[in-house]
Structure 1
């Protein structure tokens, strides 16, 4: 009898333990994370309701972790602009709560007022330690792949068209290897993008060069498409290789709108850097500066490297060849007295591949220009501790002076798990670009709708879109605004560089 009672008590104890932290522990953890990210008296936790838990499939071997899901209500204790570029905002809030963009509501364009309530569906990961639980990190948000377009069936048609063109042109014979097939697929996909863009323009739409599928540019382009469609503006977002590819597509006339970095746009206007062979693109115009893209220099949390000078002789990823991010990364290295030959290895991986290599000990660091928070960095923080390296103040000043379109900034505290302090770095702006193909009236309408206060960018799936603000629409610009954008934004004409 006594033995049965003891077994029952043990079972109850284990069952209670398996549920994870209690309500008070969870509430204290959330409030602590909010205070760490925003400081005191900015946000208070009014209510928290647990919504279940699940075992963490990414837990290290031999370690038990639980993902705790919750709904929370937060009160704004003093006026706060969560779309600000210069202080903790929506990026820090989403990271602190382990939320996705659609898991947060109540953010107001232009800033929230004291007393406003925010609703958040979040998640935290806890590690079992003896009879207790310790918070590890908020769960990383893994975004779904961005659709090619909002037009029904076009994504499937695109895949079929790529396959049909390859077959019709006899580009993939049976003996072709994996690398050859990848090249064929890339080239045919690019041709299909060009065809889609020109057909869309013929039908009076706005083909928009976004970025790689599931990347920030692609997600922003898709969000922009869904928000502007009910307002009578038909965009056609196209997946591309990124900002450098986008500028070339825009110049060729394959698209009429494009997303790219502010420093890349300035190089294109002047015909320098990667655009030296094609010469100046004098007709390039900006519709607006959208959001900041800070330079991220990432190492493992336990790495002995503390600054960029410490990367000498290390294995460092610089980004994919031909990407706008890689060009900026090389300039950042040079400003710190480093060239690729000073590294033990200069890798050419995308961000996800680089983070995997860092986790597995095959790389020491990676450089990436990307809006914060980057989903892949947040998700990677579940498997390992990551640390951002600060850029030297003198290097930042040098780059601001020598590379128009860049500006000093900080990655705000709490943007990423375990980031307790702001990190000084350099940033560029993500720009919406066009050229003379668009009339002043078209651009005026586009810009007004892009910055419309009723746009819910988080609900549309873009964290970065929440940072759009007319007040920052010229920030980081080193090229002229289109006359239609000047009309929409009420800005005086600036001289052509």
Structure 2
């Protein structure tokens, strides 16, 4: 009985080992798992919208057992450069930066393969707030020739957008002074008369914007209403958004009338070779973080495929069109990833397993029959020696060999399906014994 079990396990165990080995190789090289370490570029200062968003992303990723490294930066332009240099895996980048500052963004890139990026979707609007001094006589961007303008440091998305806005207004770079001041420093310098204009790009009014919004006697917020359509045509990555009357402060009635602002959208970018499962995970995180109502967008507006100046990842595009896959909707991330990876291996599994499964029954049959047929070699040897065994001692020696074979045969156990061959062997032994007898 144990011999039958051992033969069965030896046959099917070989098949299982071969299939498992093939799966292990395919699982490792055909569908590699997502990387455990993820590097994300943040933004200027811990209180920036980029920094707050990426910190929430990091917390969600760590909850899924990823190791996350946050890399500080000066803003969108530097984020784009870090991505293209391969120093980070993900970064929030202001729309238009890849177009408005391509040279700065590509600085340090070594070849075209290193600079291929994809977008996972836009996540929130970042309106541009342009404040000008009332006594400067410059209430439109076309009038900023010769002005002193605060537009943030090099490497910031604020400067990239400010330069683009001035360029489409035919304001020559040689005709104004670009100040690197930003935040509250820029606001105070504008109020003190050290600047003629200040540009801010912010999803929410911070201390600097709040300071200037309440100083209406000295500065005013530029309204883009009459030229919003023209700006949107010339700069396709900006969207006109409205700050309604009293939208900043009901108590102070600020602003005193509706104001139209121009707003690029911040998008989450990644390297082109980003793992597909990470794309799905990030979009789930973006949904959780940005789907709600925002200051300049209704609920459900983000995340989206809004005006991508970087190609949208194909899995992200499919997700925005059709939603998450069934497995990712109902399973934890790592369970869904494992099942999906195994699903990818289904075809190679069937390709390998089906021929082996078809080969197993003949292999098992050959092993069982060989346990019976190997006795015929000894029987043939006894039969061939029979003509030379003329005296009784020689015949007794052959008979002893036959008795030994029969003793072994008594211990042989075979399944009932092979009973015909088993009993045929016993009949052949009985026939040979008859020939060995003196009468034979």
Q: Is the 8 A contact 2:242 2:296 kept in 1?
A: no
Partner residue, 2:397: none
Greater displacement, 367-376 / 275-284 = 275-284
SS in 2 for 1:474: coil
Structure 1 Cα separation of the partners of residues 66 and 255 of structure 2: 40
**Aligned equivalent of 1:371, options 199, 203, 220:** 203
Shift of 1:331: 1.6
**Aligned equivalent of 1:488, options 305, 316, 319:** 319
Structure 1 Cα separation of the partners of residues 104 and 235 of structure 2: 11
Partner residue, 2:258: 422
Partner residue, 2:309: 478
Structure 1 Cα separation of the partners of residues 305 and 104 of structure 2: 23
1:373-392 counterparts in 2 under 5 A? 373-381=205-213, 386-391=219-224
Structure 2 Cα separation of the partners of residues 247 and 426 of structure 1: 22
Greater displacement, 379-388 / 234-243 = 379-388
Structure 2 Cα separation of the partners of residues 226 and 388 of structure 1: 37
Unpaired segments of 5 or more residues in structure 1?
1-201, 493-497
1:91-130 counterparts in 2 under 5 A? none
| 1:431 has 2:431 as partner | no
1:265-284 counterparts in 2 under 5 A? 265-266=98-99, 275=106, 283-284=116-117
| 1:450 has 2:286 as partner | yes
Partner residue, 1:226: 59
Structure 2 Cα separation of the partners of residues 276 and 252 of structure 1: 8
**TM-score of the superposition, structure 2-length normalised?**
0.55
Q: Is the 8 A contact 2:305 2:317 kept in 1?
A: no
Partner residue, 1:247: 80
SS in 2 for 1:325: helix
Shift of 1:376: 2.7
SS in 1 for 2:282: helix
Shift of 1:244: 0.7
Partner residue, 2:232: 400
Q: Is the 8 A contact 2:124 2:302 kept in 1?
A: no
Structure 2 Cα separation of the partners of residues 468 and 222 of structure 1: 22
Q: Is the 8 A contact 2:145 2:175 kept in 1?
A: yes
Structure 2 Cα separation of the partners of residues 258 and 423 of structure 1: 30
Partner residue, 1:206: 38
Distance 1:470 1:399, change over 3 A: closer
Cα RMSD (Å): 3.6
SS in 1 for 2:155: coil
| 1:360 has 2:192 as partner | yes
Distance 1:443 1:285, change over 3 A: same
Distance 1:428 1:254, change over 3 A: same
SS in 2 for 1:358: helix
Deviations 1:106-160 (A, max 9, x none): xxxxxxxxxxxxxxxxxxxxxxxxxxxxxxxxxxxxxxxxxxxxxxxxxxxxxxx
Shift of 1:348: 2.2
Structure 2 Cα separation of the partners of residues 466 and 391 of structure 1: 18
Q: Is the 8 A contact 1:305 1:311 kept in 2?
A: yes
Partner residue, 2:157: 324
Higher strand share: 1
Distance 1:441 1:400, change over 3 A: same
SS in 2 for 1:451: helix
SS in 1 for 2:305: coil
Structure 1 Cα separation of the partners of residues 271 and 94 of structure 2: 16
**TM-score of the superposition, structure 1-length normalised?**
0.49
Q: Is the 8 A contact 2:76 2:155 kept in 1?
A: no
Shift of 1:478: 2.4
Structure 1 Cα separation of the partners of residues 207 and 66 of structure 2: 29
Greater displacement, 440-449 / 464-473 = 464-473
1:6-405 counterparts in 2 under 5 A? 204-213=36-45, 214-230=47-63, 232=65, 234-266=67-99, 275=106, 283-300=116-133, 304-343=137-176, 345-381=177-213, 386-391=219-224, 393-394=226-227, 396-405=228-237
Structure 1 Cα separation of the partners of residues 212 and 57 of structure 2: 27
Shift of 1:436: 2.8
Shift of 1:428: 0.9
Q: Is the 8 A contact 1:451 1:470 kept in 2?
A: no
Unpaired segments of 5 or more residues in structure 2?
1-33, 324-440
Deviations 1:242-266 (A, max 9, x none): 1111111112221111011111134
Greater displacement, 356-365 / 468-477 = 468-477
Distance 1:333 1:350, change over 3 A: same
Distance 1:430 1:337, change over 3 A: same
Q: Is the 8 A contact 2:100 2:164 kept in 1?
A: no
Deviations 1:212-265 (A, max 9, x none): 112221122123333554455554332211111111111222111101111113
Distance 1:469 1:272, change over 3 A: farther
Q: Is the 8 A contact 1:329 1:369 kept in 2?
A: no
Distance 1:376 1:312, change over 3 A: same
